[in-house]
Amino acid sequence: MSTKTASDFIQASETKAFDLHHRKVINHNIDKYDSAVSIGLNRWNSLENAKRKAHSIKWRVMENLDKLLPEFEANFQKNGGKVIWANDIKEAQEEILTILKRVNAKSVVKSKSMVTEEIELNQFLKDNHVTSIETDLGEYIVQLLGQKPYHIVTPAMHLSLADIAKLFNERFGTPLEATAEQLTLKARDLLRNEYLKADVGITGANFLITDTGSIAITENEGNARLSTTFPKIHIAIVGIEKLIPSLNDLDLYWPLLANHGTGQNLTVYNSIISGPKKEGEIDGPEEMYVILLDNGRTDLLAQKEQRQGLYCIRCGACLNACPIYKNIGGHTYGTTYSGPIGSIITPHMKGLSDFKHLSYASSLCGKCTEVCPVKIDIQKMLLLNRRDAVKEDLSPAFEKWGWQAFTKIIVKRKWMDFLGGKVKNYLLGKFFKKSWGAKRVLPPLTQESFNKQWKTQEKEKL
């Protein structure tokens, strides 16, 4: 088992947890989110019933994914679109490159998409001499910084206004004291021309609508609409789990996503795209492709107890609720999907051997499960991942020996009493000091066990 990923995570976590500037920025931004979302959620007559219905629909989709995916494909093709199936990252990259080469594309505009981050599309296109421009403001900012998105919904959540103003000053000469509005206008100025010259627009999709053969995209800036309207070719790359059975289901999922993601009733722009433009239509691409990505999703689907991780609608609520995420930040996870949801799906999508440690990066407080709009039992999934790691014998030898010794001692009172306080404190200091963390002092154990103290106390009463 590789331990480098886990050791990198622990080291990065310790560094970030004591970064006071990071803590100040992330707490400020999440506090604003909490205020907005609490207002949004109060608009529901029965939020609990809505969440149960959303869970039930997603359950039905996953139980019938083998039937619904071909149905979506057939309906989308009837609309004039083309469907491509990709088993993994490499296949998805190669299929996109084939389309770009056929039209001799030199530039691409992208709207916000976690799946394109998952397949590392920007770097792949750069390696193949294609310019890829992120058009979502948050994504554009982290692209300028050479970073990955920090958050599923808010890619630049870790940056303050001053941080962004400094970046724009260095890159584009805007004033250091520029307001948020001025920075947004500057970004709009820079990006507008990119839509006009781009050969291809690439997006994700929030939902795949089975009965109409459509994709649904929800956003707040209009950049996805521009990315799908101006270029002659539109490629949407989407995880196979994003299916919903009917167009009518959007009246449930769109408000749930907006309420839990930003606190809005609905996001500003909600688009339903059913294929390339038809004869007589002015706007839209001449060709449209939907790439259906597996990349480990069917491995998770095969886990009957854990497949509900695929119900996720990527609202980001569990990240904002998680005390671990708020302390160590999104980049620390080293994965596309961070926070609680990333911790339950990444071990299945990228391998339990390398990523089992993420399922231990939790206080198990249950807040993530409480806030999930589709009622994923995240804390249970974390425990099931831990169970599977033990079953597959992925624990290091030292850990197994430690638990064997602990079990032997804890079930025998004579062993508990035999090991006095000095021995116990020595063992804790020797074997657990590093795990406890360099910033904390291990609490000393008393010299006598509770059992001995109790017996002494009872004797004194007599």
Report the C-alpha gap between 376 and 296 in whole angstroms. Answer: 19
User: Where, residue-wise, is CATH 3.40.50.10420 in the chain?
Assistant: 43-295
Task: Please name which of 390, 355, 383 lies closest in space to residue 369, comparing C-alpha atoms.
Answer: 383
In 3-state terms, what secondary structure has residue 295?
coil
DSSP string, 58-92: HHHHHHTHHHHHHHHHHHHHHTT-EEEEESSHHHH
Name the residue with tokens 């970064």: 19
Q: How many CB atoms lie within 10 A of CB 404?
A: 10
In what helix (H) or strand (E) does residue 51 lie, and over which residues does it extend? helix 47-63
Contact (Cβ atoms closer than 8 angstroms) between residue 72 and residue 210: yes
In 3-state terms, what secondary structure has residue 287?
strand
Residue 247's identity, in one-letter code, is L
Task: Please name which of 53, 77, 67 lies closest in space to residue 249, comparing C-alpha atoms.
Answer: 53
Report the C-alpha gap between 266 and 23 in whole angstroms. Answer: 29
Contact (Cβ atoms closer than 8 angstroms) between residue 202 and residue 227: yes
Give me the CATH topology for the region 43-295.
Rossmann fold (3.40.50)
pTM of the model: 0.90
Contacts of 378 (CB under 8 A, 6+ apart): 318, 340, 341, 344, 368, 369, 372
Report the C-alpha gap between 321 and 341 in whole angstroms. Answer: 11
Residue 1 is predicted with a pLDDT of: 36
pLDDT mean for each 10 residues of the chain (462 residues): 74 91 94 93 94 98 97 98 98 98 96 96 97 96 96 95 96 95 95 93 98 97 94 97 98 97 95 94 93 96 95 96 95 95 95 93 95 97 94 82 80 73 77 73 80 82 70
